[in-house]
Amino acid sequence: MTRQVYFVPAAETQVASVKKKTAVTTSWVSVDAKGQGTVLDVDKYAIMRRVQIHARDLRVLDPMLSYPSTVLGREKVIVLNLEHIKAIITAEEVLLRDPFDDNVIPIVAELKRRLPQEKNLTCQGLGEEEEEHIGLRNDVNTGEENEFPFEFRALEVALEAICSFLDARTRELETDTYPALDELTSKISSRNLDHVRKLKSAMTRLTNRVQKVRDELEQLLDDDDDMADLYLSRKLAGACSPVSVSGAPNWYPSSPTIGSKISRTSRASALTAEEDNDVEELEMLLEAYFMQIDNTLNKLTTLREYIDDTEDYINIQLDNHRNQLIQSSS
């Protein structure tokens, strides 16, 4: 018996090797500060390079992995994993995964509507533009610019969307469950019992989902450092400050106005230091949506209590019926 040997061309082996190394692409949509959206079909490495994020943080957004609801603050990004909302927020753009999902499409539209604003503070160069840069920052410090920073406007859209989504699912469940419980109370049957059992299972799953979002917001509110990590624009403004890391002004000694500039820079640095510890703005934002999701959880808790009371009533009725059968048979 002869043995046949086949030679595979080198070109084919190279193509196969390239295919193995090619990462799977995923659809994302990028929405910038002007409200303009761009659909991206890229792999995870392109996303990591684009926003300078670690693979372990990007893994949180993988729908194939069962990560709980998460709001992570990193050096230059905020990572959001809230049910179907899987997003990366920077100080300049929002990247939202699976933009063609039915639940994500309205969020993209809302981001395009609410992200644009007239004034955008960006990092400016040194020289003549330094005074203008400091002046803009002073306007922010004195309250002349009351708009939320870009990342908080994006975060608010996401929180509003997930809280409204979970509340809508809760109201739908209430609409189905209360009549089913009343029907079971009036007529105990296998069909009604099975219907209530399915509704109770759905309620348990929904309660767990709502609880995870609530716990994540509560954890953020309890830690000022975690909230401070979400101030991306503040960190960017600090990086753009004309004060160097060592604290010395970054101007040439020959400048004729060096004294006044040092004085203004010192005041700006002091204000920046105070800002770094001030999370009241974000705390108010998170508190509002924490109360909303907590209210949704209270609705589910009330529904669970109603189900438990109905089960107790049904068990009492069944026990009475069983006792009557025993007495009649004896």
CATH number, residue 90: 2.40.128.330
Find the domain containing 50 and state its range. Answer: 24-114
Tokens of 143: 């309250």
Given a cut of 70, whether residue 242 has pLDDT beyond it is no
The percent of residues above 90 in pLDDT, for the chain, comes to 57
- Domain-embedded: residue 152: no
- Domain-embedded: residue 67: yes
- Domain-embedded: residue 63: yes
- Domain-embedded: residue 159: no
Amino acid at 177: T
- Domain-embedded: residue 258: no
Q: Taking residues 117-145, report their average pLDDT.
A: 47
Checking DSSP bridges between strand 85-89 and strand 93-97, what pairing results, if any? antiparallel
Dihedral over alpha carbons 262, 263, 264, 265 (to 10 degrees): 40
Q: Taking residues 205-233, report their average pLDDT.
A: 94
| pLDDT at residue 191 in the model | 92
Q: Taking residues 181-202, report their average pLDDT.
A: 92
Q: Taking residues 203-225, report their average pLDDT.
A: 95
Amino acid at 157: V
Question: Which tops the pLDDT comparison, 293 or 251?
Answer: 293
The residues, ordered by sequence, that sit 6+ positions from 93 with a Cβ below 8 Å of its Cβ are 30, 31, 32, 33
Residue with tokens 């992200």, as numbered in its chain:
115
- Domain-embedded: residue 48: yes
Tokens of 177: 């469950």
pLDDT band of 135, cuts 50, 70, 90 = very low
Local structure of 232: helix, strand or coil: helix
Task: Give the best-scoring range by mean pLDDT among 23-27, 40-44, 146-150, 320-324.
Answer: 40-44
- Domain-embedded: residue 102: yes
Question: Which tops the pLDDT comparison, 241 or 262?
Answer: 241
Q: Taking residues 35-58, report their average pLDDT.
A: 93
Distance CA 105, CA 132 (A): 39
Average pLDDT, the chain: 80
Distance CA 67, CA 216 (A): 12
pLDDT band of 88, cuts 50, 70, 90 = very high
| pLDDT at residue 220 in the model | 94
| pLDDT at residue 241 in the model | 59
Distance CA 30, CA 49 (A): 14
Given a cut of 90, whether residue 259 has pLDDT beyond it is no
Give the residue ranges of DSSP H helices in 142-257.
Answer: 150-186, 190-221, 224-228, 232-239
| pLDDT at residue 276 in the model | 56
Checking DSSP bridges between strand 93-97 and strand 70-73, what pairing results, if any? unpaired
What is the tally of structural domains in the chain? 1
Range name among 7-21, 95-109, 182-196 with the lowest pLDDT average: 7-21
The percent of residues above 70 in pLDDT, for the chain, comes to 72
| pLDDT at residue 117 in the model | 75
Q: Taking residues 221-227, report their average pLDDT.
A: 93
| pLDDT at residue 235 in the model | 87
The residues, ordered by sequence, that sit 6+ positions from 118 with a Cβ below 8 Å of its Cβ are none
- Domain-embedded: residue 108: yes
Tokens of 264: 């203004």
DSSP 250-262: -S-TT-TTHHHHH
Distance CA 291, CA 218 (A): 10
Q: Taking residues 1-29, report their average pLDDT.
A: 58
pLDDT band of 257, cuts 50, 70, 90 = very low
Closest among 84, 90, 96, 92 to 30, alpha carbons compared: 96
| pLDDT at residue 6 in the model | 45
**Cα-only R_g, the chain:** 29
